[in-house]
Amino acid sequence: MLTKCTFAPSNKTIHCAVSGGADSVALLVLAAAHSADVIAWHVDHGLRDGSANEAQIVQEIALALGAKFESRTVVVETGSNLEARAREARFAVLPTDVVTGHTADDQAETVLVNLLRGAGMRGMSGMQGGPSHPILQLRRNDTVALCDALGITVFHDPSNDDERFQRNRIRHEVLPLLQSISQRDVVSVIARQAELVRDDDALLDELASAIDPTDAKAIAAAPQALARRALRMWLAHPYPPDLATVERVLCVARGETPGCDIGGGRQVKRSQQRLKIIALF
Q: What is the domain count for the chain?
A: 2
Res 46: pLDDT: 73
* Whether residues 76 and 147 fall in one domain: yes
Based on the fold, state whether residues 14 and 112 are members of the same structural domain.
yes
84 is in an annotated binding site: no
Q: Which domain holds residue 245?
A: 209-279
Domain shared by 241 and 130, yes or no: no
Q: Pick from 161, 179, 199: which residue ends a domain?
A: 161
Q: Is 19 annotated as a binding residue?
A: yes
Are residue 146 and residue 216 in the same domain, yes or no? no
CA distances (Å), origin 75, targets 62, 88, 93: 24, 11, 11
Of 139, 161, 183, which one is at a domain's C-terminal end? 161
Domain membership flag for residue 184: no
Residue 100 lies in a domain: yes
SS3 8: coil
- Ligand-binding site membership of 22 (annotated): yes
What average pLDDT values come out for the chain (281 residues) when binned by 10 residues?
A: 96 96 98 97 81 89 97 80 79 94 98 90 91 98 98 89 91 98 97 95 94 98 96 88 94 97 94 95 75
Domain boundary among 131, 161, 191: 161
Do 9 and 79 have their domain in common? yes
Residues 106 and 243 both lie in one domain: no
Ligand-binding site membership of 159 (annotated)? no
pLDDT at site 52: 77
Cβ within 8 Å of residue 37, ≥6 positions away: 11, 12, 13, 14
Is 106 annotated as a binding-site member? Answer: no
Nearest-angstrom CA–CA distance, 212 and 210? 7
Annotated binding-site residue? 201? no
Q: What is the pLDDT of residues 31-61, one digit of tens each?
A: 999 999 999 999 988 777 777 788 999 999 9
